Each structure stands twice: as structure tokens, then as C-alpha cells.
Amino acid sequence: MDFRTIINIPVSDIQINHSSRMMLFGSCFSENIGRKLQQSKFRVDVNPFGILYNPFSISTAMQRLLSTKPFLEADLIFNNGLYHSLMHHGQFSAPDKEVCLRNISERFESAVLQIKRANLFLITFGSAYVYQWKESGEIAGNCHKLPARLFHRFRLSVEEITEEWEKLISMLTAMHPDIKLLFTVSPVRHWKEGAHENQISKSILHLAIDNLVQLFPENVRYFPAYEVMIDELRDYRFYDEDMIHPSSFAIDYIWQLFSNTFFSSETIGINKEWEQIRRAMEHRPLYPGTKEHEAFVKDTLRKLETFSRRYPEISCDDIDLPK
């Protein structure tokens, strides 16, 4: 007997390999899959603005990169001893204005180069609810614990999301006709919105993405991470301690499904080969300096050299070599 429902995901016509140039934007799922892609040595830029949840903030971030318009001091706000950008996650905030701006600008400049080269975007929508800064009308990517009275909270409609992203995707396909966009909906429930409101929010995101798939059948695809987590992995043993975020096991399981969907058997083989080398390099010996350890290090370096020679498209320049 089978005691769970299985989400059948067909192999995608989008093939991801180590020559693909990817950018990931959105909520925690983008972070989790992005980390897996980085560990497997794919060419990927993950959330240059930090984690973003709503479709408008993600779109605004991408359009800002495409415009190459830099951030200035006027774009920052000060609250509780820190300077912030409403477009960025708190990881960019700092008590010093210049440090905050430097954190933002360095990451921005790097991402501007990446977005021009990218041929695949993985976008994860987290919530249809947005917070609009009353002073400027700007949709906040992060409220940075500012008083709620300074924002207007409302829920985006399916039509608003579809219209916003139709314009952005048209812009991207005009630049690169073969560009691909892979959408997901975050399985993380926004519990503060309330159980019912969260469900409505996720439904709106699904409907908007489905509209985009219909509008751009050559360029847009959907990956059912939400369905896998909510249905196939619906037992609480697959959740973290907060009972809301996926556990590490669940992330690994969804990564496996993602790999089977978008990677060829050759790419999966390369990933397995690299994973053995990566784990060897991360190994911390109990007795460094012994003959056994020295032999282990030499063998690992030999495997790394062979791997680099066999797959020149994969950069190993940033590797911390074992000692």
C-alpha cells in the first residue's frame, strides 16, 4: 500500500546545465534551491536584493537592474539606529550610511552584469500581500519593522500581477527571445496573514503564474514545489521546528525532484562527481599531518585537477583547497 500521494512531474523541455547562466529572485525557496545550485557549481546569482516575497517587489528589483540606475543616499531611510533600503532585505542594512550604501551598490553592480548574461530566471512568489510606503507610494520589499501606520497594506489581484509581469517578460524576451523563466510558489505559509488569507494569497499567485504560462508558452514554465510540500510532504516531520518552513530533508527531496526535472543524466552525473570532491574538501581530519591525511589530501587534489580538466566550463577558482 502507498500511504502518500505522489506529484508526478514530467521531465521539462528546459534543460539546465553548468553552462546555463541563471538568476534567482524571490522568497526562501529561491534561497534554498540557489544554495544547492551554488554547491553544485552552477553559474547562478541568488537574490541580489535579498529575500523578496511579493511579485511587485521582485519585478521592481529586476527592472532596476535592467535600468542600471544606481542607488543613492536619498534611497535610504533611517530607523532604530540603522540605515535601510525599502527595496532590500535587512542583510544590507547598517548603522553607517556609507556602509549600507556600499553593501547595496557592490551587490547591485555585480548583478547588473549577471542579468545581461542570464538565460534563465527562477522566480519564487511568496505572498500576494504588499505594503505600500505612504510617503512615496513605493511597494516595500521589506518593512524593516517600521510602524505599520506608515504603510498601506493590500492584496494584489491576479490581473495586477499578470499585467506587471507581462510587461517585464515582454521586455526580457525583446532582449533575448530564447530566455526562459521558471516560476514557483513558495510552500512557506505566511501565517501572520491568517490561515484563510494565506490560502487566498497563494491561490492568486498560482492563477497569475498560470496566466503567464498561457501568455508566454515558449518562455515560461512552472515547477510545483508548493504542491510537493503541501501534499506529498504534508506530514509535520518534513517541517522545521516552526512547523512552517520545510526541513532540510524536505529541501533535499525537492532538490532531487528539481534535478530530475531539469537536469540531463550527464549533468546529474557531474553533480554526483563534484559532490564527492566537495565533501572531501570539507572534511576536517581528527589527526592532521599524518601519512593517511596527507595521502587523502593528495588524492582529493588529484580528483579536483581531473575534474577541472574534464569540465572546463565549471569554475573551480574559488575553491578552498584542503591542507
pLDDT tens digits, one per residue of 185-204: 999 988 888 999 999 999 99
Q: For residue 289, what pLDDT is reported?
A: 80
User: What is the chain's percent helix, strand, coil content, to nearest 5?
Assistant: 50, 15, 35
Percent of the chain past pLDDT 90, that is, above it, reads 83
Which cell is 190 given? 505566511
Q: What are 112-125's pLDDT values in tens digits? A: 999 999 999 999 99
What digits encode the pLDDT tens for the residues 131-169? 999 999 999 999 999 999 999 999 999 999 999 999 999
Q: Is the pLDDT of residue 283 over 90?
A: no
pLDDT at 316 over 90: no
Q: Are 22 and 37 in contact (CB under 8 A)?
A: yes
Element spanning 83, H or E: strand 82-85
pLDDT band at 284 (very low <50, low <70, confident <90, very high): confident
Domains and CATH numbers, the chain: 21-263 (3.40.50.1110), 264-323 (no CATH)
Q: Per-residue pLDDT tens for 53-94?
A: 999 999 999 999 999 999 999 999 999 999 999 999 999 999
Q: Mean pLDDT, the chain, as a whole number?
A: 94
Q: How far apart are CA 138 and CA 31, in angstroms?
A: 24
Q: Are 13 and 217 in contact (CB under 8 A)?
A: no
pLDDT of residue 254: 96
The Cα 35–Cα 307 span in angstroms is 21
